[in-house]
């Protein structure tokens, strides 16, 4: 669920975002989206950890079929930035940058693109959470979800 949905429904959660980030989301009309990162080493996760908002990050992998849901948007950088480019297609995402090992592996003038995001309308149904076994075998969602295209 998005941070705003969690707060609206009084669901206790440890949030990665801070109050300023949530205000920026509301101002941009993005408060009802779950923000997904392309990289497992997202800089905002490290900021939240350093500030004590989170202690042990939990990373979830989301099945790519979530991209077929209505209303999904793509941002070329952190969507809360004033200069973020949002689109219904991933054309502006700099995949050569988001695949880097860390933001520090990217030239300084390109680092903002390391935080490209997928914005998915909240909530993301649990069927889209990808489970991995110890052998890293990916298990697809077990049932056909109404948001998923036919296989």
Q: How far apart are CA 19 and CA 51, in angstroms?
A: 13
Three-state helix/strand/coil letters over 20-52: HHHHHHHHHCCCCEEEEECCCCCHHHHHHHHCC
Closest Cα to residue 130, out of 112, 106, 148?
148
In the chain, which residues have pLDDT < 70? 131-151
pTM of the model: 0.80
* pLDDT confidence of residue 149: 41
Q: Which residue, among 82, 92, 83, has the nearest Cα to 38 in the 3D structure? A: 92
Q: What is the dihedral of CA 34, 55, 42, 61, to 10 degrees?
A: -50
Determine the pLDDT at residue 21: 84
pLDDT at 133: 54
Residue spans of the domains in the chain: they are 3-139
- Say if residues 17 and 3 touch (Cβ distance below 8 Å): yes
Phi-psi region of 74 (alpha: psi -120 to 50; beta: other; left: phi over 0): beta
Query: Is the Cα dihedral 130, 133, 138, 139 positive or negative?
Result: negative
């Amino acid at each position: 669920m998005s941070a705003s949905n969690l707060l609206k429904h009084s669901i206790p959660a440890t949030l990665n975002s801070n109050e300023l980030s949530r205000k920026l989301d509301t101002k941009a009309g993005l408060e009802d989206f779950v923000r997904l990162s392309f990289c497992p080493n997202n800089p905002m996760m490290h900021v939240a950890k350093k500030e004590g908002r989170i202690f042990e990050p939990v990373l979830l992998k989301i099945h790519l079929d979530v991209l077929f849901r209505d209303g999904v948007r793509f941002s070329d950088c952190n969507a809360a930035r004033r200069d973020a480019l949002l689109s219904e297609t991933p054309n502006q995402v700099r995949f050569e940058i988001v695949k880097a090992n860390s933001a520090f592996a990217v030239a300084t003038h390109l680092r903002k693109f390391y935080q490209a995001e997928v914005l998915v309308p909240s909530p993301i149904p649990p069927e889209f959470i990808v489970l991995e076994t110890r052998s890293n075998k990916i298990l697809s969602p077990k049932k056909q979800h109404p948001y998923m295209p036919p296989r």
